């Protein structure tokens, strides 16, 4: 896969991108990576609300197991972590804009 670096763009890939070391290394080299750290209970609610929302690489794992597997991987690649636990969306956007 060949991706060109982009300036002044926000890319929001799906959560499963973290399983690709090649893509994550590319992102780390070419972009400023922000990890929106959302607690499991919020992710669980979001997935339950959207019946068409698929979880890639889940296999026989529970949603919680996938969440914590990915969380461990996210920790390897971020430049900035934003704790979204108590922040409304508007505040998260403000923090992102301050960081970039």
Q: For the chain, which residues make up each domain, given as ranges?
A: 15-99
Task: Return the structure tokens found at 49.
Answer: 């609300």
Distance CA 40, CA 36 (A): 12
The predicted-structure confidence for 46-89, as pLDDT tens digits, reads as follows 888 876 767 776 678 888 999 999 999 999 999 999 999 999 98
Q: Tokens 């992710």 sit at which residue?
A: 43
Which CATH topology does 15-99 take? Rossmann fold (3.40.50)
Q: How confident is the prediction for the chain on average, in pLDDT?
A: 85
- Calculate mean pLDDT across residues 5-34: 85
What count of Cα atoms within 13 Å lies in the side-chain half-sphere of residue 19? Answer: 11
CA angle 22–57–96, rounded 5-degree value: 60
pLDDT exceeds 90 at position 7: no
**Nearest CA to 64 among 51, 55, 77?**
55
């Amino acid at each position: 896969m060949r991706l060109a670096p982009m300036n002044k763009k926000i890319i929001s890939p799906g959560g499963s991108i973290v399983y690709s070391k090649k893509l994550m290394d590319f992102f780390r080299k070419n972009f400023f990576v922000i990890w929106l750290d959302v607690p499991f209970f919020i992710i669980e609610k979001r997935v339950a609300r959207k019946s068409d929302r698929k979880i890639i690489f889940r296999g026989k794992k529970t949603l919680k197991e996938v969440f914590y597997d990915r969380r461990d991987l996210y920790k390897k690649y971020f430049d900035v972590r934003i704790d979204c636990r108590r922040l409304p969306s508007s505040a998260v956007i403000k923090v992102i804009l301050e960081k970039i």
